[in-house]
Chains A and B, each alone.
Chain A
């Protein structure tokens, strides 16, 4: 008699063999039941740990879509998937933080984020680290030391500033007045960029004076207005160094509007407007190699997930885009948007 008072399928009187057979039947039934439950639990489940979130400052631009391509290609090679999304505006910091937090809530296996601003992103990143989520920060130094769970991939802003300074020095033949627009203390990388630019001018081109400095504004139209005022002001301007994508576009518009496209040189940063490079409306753009940054970020993340030590900070050299090399393979490589390759 079983504990529940019911008859056992076998009893000791049936002999040891019958008892074993009966026991097997019972365990078979239990195994069936357990397997069924497990299968039901696992059915439809997809591990989110193999998905990593890649969150740039914004999407759909010539600057950030190559990061998408680099990251997607590297992820596919490692059997990973990426979730690619960003705020619709490249100054919408709260939305970017919300995206980061949502990615963590979904249980993604890691985060690659290019912060819109340095300071507000510190706390969210620290929280991610505290939860053991591996993070790669792209494009700027947050001031949090790299270590287990946190690494950086940045453009070499020292080199970028030198490139721009030397280009200005060359095209002005070492003499002239320069306006620097788009100064943004909100991003550490931009501060580094600006200081490197000015240090290069001071060190290597003492005949060049920086006569105007302007902070960066919310968008290209405001930058246009600001540049209009500079060009219409009393000081003679021979070249404009525009430190951001928006200030480069705004300065170009202002040059066209004031008819000074041919007389005032414009050296910008961060690839955006390509056609004016061909006409000389923009003399040069110091482009970030975001394709390589995306690729390296995924590689670092994958190594982190497998417990392999990675360098804390990786600096990717920028590339100077000019009318002469716009169609070169090197430039095409960093402008590659084909995130779908290998799908």
Chain B
């Protein structure tokens, strides 16, 4: 296969793979809950599968309830791949002026009034109708069939909603047992989607929700075998079309009466001025600020508690209520006992008053909704499902109490010494303060706690961790540095060896060859002539150069050097330098217990020793050369001493080789001493430290790399 062909094949393979992946994802989404709907799906068995879009949903004793009158609250479940199925449920409207029902074949749900694609069927008590329609981020109402005499709130209706192909049927059974049904055909229908519960402008309850696959027989049983008419949406708002419209006025009357309230209600603050120890019947209006553990309400003048209230319909925080009961004035606030509570309307939440702990401690905000900050000092759980936080703010401490079985993860995640902000009801009741603090804050939920700032980072533990971390970092850095130095030294040694080989193969061999040629020439010539003497000189020069080359090669090629071989290496180096015609005795001495010498140090000592031996052999004409290696506790000393002619030491007498020795010694921080007496010999003494402990090694390294440090060995001569 050609290159282009291979590429085409690869591209095609990738396309197929990706297409397969996309198809797989689509199948997964379509099949959803383990595949097509095959079995009866008992909806409330799996509460985690439900998703809310608006509303306030509760599941209690087999009943799913939305207690909010939001317009368009939805609770969704199921799979986007479900096609033909029916949903049945018992439905109860809590309020007087809205609708509630079931959703089929829904997708792309959002929060909003008709914010989904799908079909909805339900009951509406505005016009006492069984309705059916379709939402596509807008509402198309197909059916509004009158239910006589009316749709009653607070009564259960059985509702069944079915989708088969593009046919949709709904049927309801009234409390009196009558069944009303309707059906439509929607060409271009939505083919599949989730199911759900929906309410509009009223709370509602659902129970016995069951989902089943639907067949053509199921549809026929609902429609009586009649082909459903084509769906035609209603294009005008209720009452716009000339038609009998009297039916709208009764619901309007009901809605009107539902919000009728006593205009002679008293303000909450005025209750504190009632005669003490005498209960007075009063009516008041207020907004609910807390429902548990006790009902608290607040108006523009203050707040109060309504313990053991008889509540006509479920209330939640933000509902305005009318309460009628016995007012009992207390020190900082009043209490309404034996109260009847009736909700008036919703969504009038009270805004909290931001106060300091000191202000709250005065009792001026008892029973009122406040916002307060403090530093968390403690957490504990108390009996009665109470989760308690203890906080400080300035000179005051206070408790914050949340009651209930809600999720406690947020409570557990609060860290001591965090600065947090709370919103809740300020109370001075000893039942909550336990007489430990001047006030407490009753939290509607654990979610009313906001962390403003975490605990300070600079704690003892963190500082210690930082120190240890820094030390570990330094240690590892130093270890890396040492390892890098070792690698560098090995690389240098390898390079030297390579040079030595090159020189041996080229230079030394050339000198040897030259020498042989000259010798041959000399043998051909007559002894004593000028050419012969020049030849002899040339041979001597070649011989000397050859020797120099051999010495350089020997210096470059130290042989694999371990510290234990330092002395033998020096000895063999010396042996190479002296030829058979020279009667120089080489003596090696090792004192002290041998220890491991770092490679760098050993290499430096070797080269210094080589140079010293070379100088002795070349210039001093000794008869005896002594090479000593002395190990001390923290150091090693190399001494090369000869009994040659010596020389006069002066500041200007340091030659190239001597300067080289000084540099090498300085590089490893060693001390070099050169001593010589004319006619009596020369001693080269170099003393290097050995690493004993990590701190000492670290200190030496730091000293070595300090460029501003003077070379201690430069003028250290005797």
Q: Which residues of A contact B22 (CB under 8 A)?
A: 43-44
A225 and B261 within 8 A (CB) = yes
> 1/0 per residue B285-296: CB within 8 Å of A?
000000000000
Interface flag for A269 (CB, 8 Å): no
Flag B1-44 by CB within 8 Å of A: 1 or 0 each. 01111111001001100100010000000000000000000000
Question: Could you tell me if A25 and B4 are in contact, using CB atoms closer than 8 angstroms?
Answer: yes
Q: Are A36 and B14 in contact (CB under 8 A)?
A: yes
**Once the chains bind, are A219 and B113 in contact (CB under 8 Å)?**
no
The chain A residue sitting closest to B138, CB to CB, is A339
Minimal beta-carbon separation of A88 from chain B (angstroms): 5
Q: Is B238 in contact with A274, judged by CB distance below 8 angstroms?
A: yes
Q: Could you give, for residues 259-295 of chain A, a 1 whenever the CB lies within 8 Å of some chain B CB and a 0 otherwise? A: 0000000000001011110110000000000000000
Among the stretches A59-67, A131-139, A171-179, A199-207, the one at the interface with B is A59-67
A253 to B73, CA, bound (A): 26
A59-B112, A65-B237, A221-B345 known; A88 vs B71 contact (CB < 8 Å): yes
Nearest residue, chain A, Cβ from B246: A275
Q: Are B263 and A225 in contact, with the CB atoms below 8 A?
A: yes
Closest to A26 in B: B4
Q: Is the CB of B347 within 8 A of A219?
A: yes
Of the 9-residue stretches B252-260, B334-342, B517-525, B644-652, which lies at the interface with chain A?
B252-260
Closest B residue to A274 by beta carbon equals B239
In the complex, B624 has a CB within 8 A of chain A: no
Is B373 interfacial (CB-CB < 8 Å)? no
Partner of B249, one of A39, A88, A275, A339: A275
Tell me if A322 is interfacial: C-beta within 8 Å of chain B.
no
Known: A59-B114, A65-B138, A225-B261. A332 touches B240 (CB 8 A): yes
Q: In the complex, what distance in Å separates the CA atom of A274 from the CA atom of B241? A: 10
When the two chains form their complex, are residues A40 and B237 in contact, meaning their CB atoms are under 8 A apart?
Answer: no
Do B4 and A28 touch (CB < 8 A)?
yes
Closest to A25 in B: B4
User: In the complex, are the beta carbons of B245 and A58 less than 8 A apart?
Assistant: no
Interface size class of A (residues with CB under 8 A): 35 or more
Which of A78-86, A186-194, A208-216, A301-309 makes up part of the contact surface?
A78-86
In the complex, whether A114 has a CB less than 8 A from a CB of chain B is no
Cβ-defined contact, B115 with A85, below 8 A? yes
- The answer to whether B113 and A222 touch across the interface, beta carbons within 8 angstroms, is no
In angstroms, Cα B139 to Cα A340, docked, is: 9
Question: Is the beta-carbon distance between B345 and A88 smaller than 8 angstroms?
Answer: no
A32 interface contact, C-beta 8 A: yes
* A297 close to B (CB within 8 Å): no
- Asked if A9 CB lies within 8 Å of chain B CBs, one says yes
A232: shortest Cβ distance to chain B, in Å? 6
Residues of B contacting A25 with CB < 8 Å?
2-4
Interface flag for B111 (CB, 8 Å): yes
User: Would B114 and A29 count as touching, CB distance under 8 A?
Assistant: no
Judged by a CB distance under 8 angstroms, whether B81 is at the interface is no
CB distance from A107 to the nearest CB of B (A): 17
Question: B594 at the A/B interface (Cβ < 8 Å)?
Answer: no
Bound-state CA distance A276–B113 (Å) is 25
Residues of A within 8 A of B248 (CB): 275
Smallest Cβ-Cβ distance to B346: which chain A residue: A219
Per-residue CB contact flags for chain A residues 30-44 toward chain B (1 = under 8 Å, else 0) read 101100100110011
Contact among B70, B111, B263, B348 for A218, CB-based, below 8 A: B348
In contact, A340 and B138 (Cβ under 8 angstroms) = yes
Tell me the A50-84 residues at the B interface (CB within 8 Å).
58-60, 62, 65, 68, 72, 83-84
With A58-B113, A86-B113 as contacts: A218 and B11 at CB distance below 8 Å: no
- Verify if B344 is at the interface (C-beta below 8 Å from A): yes
Chain B: CB-nearest residue to A68: B138
Given A29-B4, A32-B8, A224-B259, are A274 and B237 neighbors across the interface (CB < 8 Å)?
yes
The distance from the CB of B103 to the nearest CB of chain A, in whole angstroms, is 15
Are the CB atoms of B236 and A225 closer together than 8 Å?
no
CB neighbours (8 Å) of B137 from chain A are 83-85
**Complex interface: chain B residues within 8 A of A276 (CB):** 252
The CA of A336 and the CA of B235, in the complex, are separated in Å by 6
B248: nearest chain-A partner, CB-CB: A275
Q: Can you name the residue of chain A whose Cβ is closest to the Cβ of B8? A: A32
Given contacts A40-B15, A219-B345, A253-B256, contact A9 B239 (CB under 8 A): no
CB distance from A236 to the nearest CB of B (A): 18
Contacts of A225 in B (CB 8 A): 259, 261, 263
Provide the bound-state CA to CA distance between A326 and B241, in Å. 9
Task: Verify B236–A332 contact, CB threshold 8 A.
Answer: yes
- Complex-state Cα separation, A291 to B71, whole angstroms: 22
> Does B679 sit within 8 A of A, measured CB to CB?
no
B3 touches A222 (CB 8 A): no
Least Cβ–Cβ distance between B362 and chain A, in angstroms: 32
Inter-subunit contact B347/A218 (CB<8 Å):
yes
Contact B239 A29 (CB under 8 A): no
Cβ < 8 Å to A, chain B residues 69-114: 70-73, 110-114
Select one of B7, B112, B344 contacting A29, CB under 8 A. Answer: B7
With beta carbons under 8 angstroms apart, the residue of B4, B54, B236, B263 that contacts A336 is B236
Chain A: CB-nearest residue to B7: A29
- Residue A330 CB within 8 A of the other chain: no
B140 CB–A CB distance under 8 Å: yes
Query: What distance in Å separates the Cβ of A126 from its nearest Cβ neighbour in chain B?
Result: 25
With A60-B71, A225-B263 given, is the CB distance from A340 to B113 under 8 Å?
A: no
CA distance A229 to B200 in the complex (A): 30
Inter-chain contacts of B112 with A (CB < 8 A): 59, 85-88
Task: Decide if B314 is an interface residue (CB 8 Å cutoff).
Answer: no
- Complex Cα distance, B138 from A43, in Å, reads 29
Partner-B contacts on A (CB < 8 A): 9, 25-26, 28-30, 32-33, 36, 39-40, 43-44, 58-60, 62, 65, 68, 72, 83-89, 91, 95, 218-222, 224-225, 228-229, 232, 253, 256-257, 271, 273-276, 278-279, 326-327, 332, 335-340
* 6 additional A-B residue pairs with CB within 8 Å, beyond A26-B3, A221-B320: A28-B8, A88-B73, A225-B259, A274-B240, A337-B236, A340-B138
